């Protein structure tokens, strides 16, 4: 038997109890120091690891949710059109606006050509009677074969021939003013139509759309101006044909059986009036087309701006 065991057996109970209590106090003091020194780092590690795990868990949930969600382009009704569909709509709208602009410009150019040719025909219709003096040629007075072919009862001789020649000259001077006025106005309108057509070829209305508004206003005023111009044209012609010079001239030619010298409207006069009415229609139509062309230019520029912003 060892000394420790012998002492423990022979030690009284009270001594044993005090020894055990001392040993328990030493153990508690060591445990207390351990508890006071080490709990803080452990709690912090647990909190940090818990936060990291929570973040990782949240990230995993977000990634799985995003993978489960359908892509945008699969649901056009609820999610809206994608960028590709927006670009397609923009390009198609721009194409439609471009086609409409080209159509309006083409129709406006065709109308300008018609304006030019209508006024050219008016000049021709006024120029034919203006250049035709229609004087009597006294070929029978030359004698010989001229008298055989151009003489006889249908020929004017002596004082009658001189009077017919004088009446022809007077009538030609009387009828000139309305034809001169007609040719001058038609010539100015021809220059105007040719100028607008040239500006359209060089794309001036596209860069400065207000030119189209000016053209529309001028075309409308010109179309309305044709109405009083036609009225003035026929009134002056009627005054010319009602002139005593024309009436006397007509009677002298009828006395010899000559035709074509009546004091009334001729084919060229009527044709000039018809082309004048056509000019009213063409110019008013040109005004409408110019306004539509102006709107098409505005829409085209707006669509191009939207296309540049979306693409």
Angle of helix 83-131 relative to helix 267-310, nearest 10 degrees, comes to 160
- For residue 40, pLDDT over 80 is answered with no
pLDDT in tens, 14-32: 444 444 445 445 545 555 4
CB 167 within 8 A of CB 245: yes
Place of tokens 């759309």: 209
- What pLDDT shows up at residue 1? 46
- What pLDDT shows up at residue 252? 87
- Of the two residues 188 and 157, the one the predictor is more confident about is 188
- What pLDDT shows up at residue 298? 86
Q: How far is CA 245 from CA 97, 175, 210, in A?
A: 63, 11, 52
Q: Which residues contact 81 (CB under 8 A, 6 or more apart)?
A: 89
Q: How far is CA 20 from CA 7, 17, 241, 304, in A?
A: 14, 5, 158, 98
- What pLDDT shows up at residue 154? 59
DSSP 202-237: TTHHHH-THHHHHHHHHHHHHHHHHHHHHHHHHHHH
* Residue 155 binned pLDDT confidence (cut-offs 50, 70, 90): low
Residue 18 backbone phi and psi in degrees, to 5: -65, -40
pLDDT in tens, 104-143: 889 999 999 999 999 999 999 999 988 887 666 655 554 4
Nearest CA-CA partner of 218 in 299, 125, 286, 126: 286
Place of tokens 């050509």: 113
- The first and second tokens of residue 120, run together, are 């050219």
CA distance 117 to 254: 38
- What pLDDT shows up at residue 149? 44
- What pLDDT shows up at residue 17? 44
Nearest CA-CA partner of 182 in 54, 272, 267, 251: 272
- For residue 241, pLDDT over 90 is answered with yes
CA distance 107 to 113: 10
- For residue 171, pLDDT over 50 is answered with yes
**With a threshold of 0.75, does the pTM exceed it?**
no
State whether residue 38 is helix, strand or coil: coil
């Amino acid at each position: 038997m060892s000394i420790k065991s012998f002492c423990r057996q022979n030690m009284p109970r009270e001594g044993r109890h005090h020894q055990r209590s001392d040993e328990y106090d030493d153990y508690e003091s060591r445990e207390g120091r351990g508890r006071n020194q080490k709990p803080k780092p452990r709690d912090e590690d647990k909190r940090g690891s818990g936060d990291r795990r929570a973040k990782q868990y949240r990230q995993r949930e977000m990634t799985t949710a995003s993978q489960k969600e359908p892509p945008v382009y699969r649901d056009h009704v609820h999610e809206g059109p994608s960028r590709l569909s927006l670009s397609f709509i923009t390009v198609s709208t721009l194409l439609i606006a471009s086609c409409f602009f080209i159509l309006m410009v083409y129709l406006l150019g065709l109308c300008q050509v018609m304006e030019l040719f209508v006024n050219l025909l008016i000049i021709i219709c006024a120029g034919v009677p203006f250049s035709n003096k229609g004087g009597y040629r006294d070929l029978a007075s030359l004698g010989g074969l001229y008298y055989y072919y151009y003489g006889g009862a249908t020929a004017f001789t002596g004082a009658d021939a001189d009077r017919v020649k004088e009446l022809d000259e007077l009538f030609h001077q009387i009828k000139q003013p309305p034809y001169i006025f007609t040719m001058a106005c038609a010539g100015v309108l021809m220059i105007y139509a040719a100028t607008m057509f040239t500006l359209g070829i060089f794309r001036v209305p596209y860069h400065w759309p207000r030119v189209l508004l000016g053209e529309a206003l001028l075309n409308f005023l010109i179309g309305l101006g044709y109405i009083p111009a036609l009225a003035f044209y026929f009134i002056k012609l009627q005054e010319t044909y009602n002139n005593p010079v024309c009436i006397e001239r007509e009677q002298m030619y009828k006395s010899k059986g000559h035709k074509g010298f009546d004091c009334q409207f001729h084919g060229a006069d009527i044709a000039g009036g018809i082309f004048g009415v056509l000019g009213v229609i063409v110019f008013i139509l040109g005004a409408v087309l110019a306004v539509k062309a102006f709107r098409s230019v505005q829409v085209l520029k707006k669509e191009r701006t939207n296309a540049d912003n979306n693409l």
